[in-house]
A and B are shown apart, each in its own frame.
Chain A
Amino acid sequence: DTGVSQDPRHKITKRGQNVTFRCDPISEHNRLYWYRQTLGQGPEFLTYFQNEAQLEKSRLLSDRFSAERPKGSFSTLEIQRTEQGDSAMYLCASSLSLGTYEQYFGPGTRLTVT
């Protein structure tokens, strides 16, 4: 399968716990994006990487959130001290860094904080 994959697909955690999600992009794509979608909203941009460099972060990304892409391949998104408001679908996408940057999405990780 050469698409974008995300793991896990579902995560249920208790408030205050830390969670980490993983995204594996399409192998030749050097850009990787994280989005968050809450009920009734479209996906909202969180951050993106070009290779291993994190180039932009949204104001939505509070200091409890951290993202890494250590070797310019897979990426992780960690949420520390989860809150109920963090419950959402977390989507990852990848693209080339040229042309219209057409983004290919993974299936998402559904996070539920109880």
Chain B
Amino acid sequence: ILNVEQSPQSLHVQEGDSTNFTCSFPSSNFYALHWYRWETAKSPEALFVMTLNGDEKKKGRISATLNTKEGYSYLYIKGSQPEDSATYLCAFQGSQGNLIFGKGTKLSVKP
């Protein structure tokens, strides 16, 4: 059974703090690693899709890294803002195409 683990489960930070989350996944049969941002009552929003070992991607204040050999990815948020409050999901994709999600990290940013 493929297992995707995310830590921490939840995180409370002050506005302006930088933060990071971890996603660990199986290193075998790897095709891609996806990060999603999910705000309450909205659709999960795709942040990054990463495929290559050593990949680094950035979108504004959010960036992600990928290590496929050891099976982990980090998501970083620089200078957190209240609008960053959401659940951040990572998902492992094997060759079949369907995604195997972690339980998510719930981020709360206090003004």
Known: A33-B98, A42-B102, A48-B98. A102 touches B42 (CB 8 A): no
Closest to B4 in A: A42
Q: Flag if B93 contacts A100 (CB, 8 Å).
A: yes
Q: Flag if A45 contacts B42 (CB, 8 Å).
A: no
Chain A residues whose C-beta falls within 8 Å of the C-beta of B97 in the assembled complex: 31, 48, 95, 97, 101
Interface window among B14-22, B44-52, B67-75: B44-52
Interface window among A64-72, A73-81, A104-112: A104-112
Q: Which of A33-64 touch B at CB < 8 Å?
A: 33, 35, 40-45, 48, 56
Interface range on chain A: under 10, 10 to 19, 20 to 34, or 35 or more? 20 to 34
A8 within 8 A of B: no
In the bound complex, what is the Cα–Cα distance between A100 and B32 (angstroms)? 7
B29 within 8 A of A: no
CB distance from A91 to the nearest CB of B (A): 7
Chain B residues whose C-beta falls within 8 Å of the C-beta of A3 in the assembled complex: 43
CB distance from B79 to the nearest CB of A (A): 27
Chain B residues whose C-beta falls within 8 Å of the C-beta of A43 in the assembled complex: 44, 89, 91, 99, 101
Q: Flag if A108 contacts B43 (CB, 8 Å).
A: yes
CB distance from A48 to the nearest CB of B (A): 6
Which one of A44, A91, A104 lies within 8 Å of B46 (CB-CB)?
Answer: A104
Closest to B103 in A: A42
CB distance from B56 to the nearest CB of A (A): 16
Chain A residues whose C-beta falls within 8 Å of the C-beta of B98 in the assembled complex: 33, 45, 48, 56
14 contacts between A and B (CB under 8 A): A3-B43, A33-B98, A35-B99, A40-B103, A42-B6, A42-B103, A45-B99, A45-B100, A56-B98, A100-B51, A101-B32, A105-B44, A107-B41, A107-B43
**A residues at B contact (CB < 8 Å):** 3-4, 31, 33, 35, 40-45, 48, 56, 91, 95, 97, 100-108
Closest 3 CB pairs of A and B: A42-B101, A105-B44, A45-B98
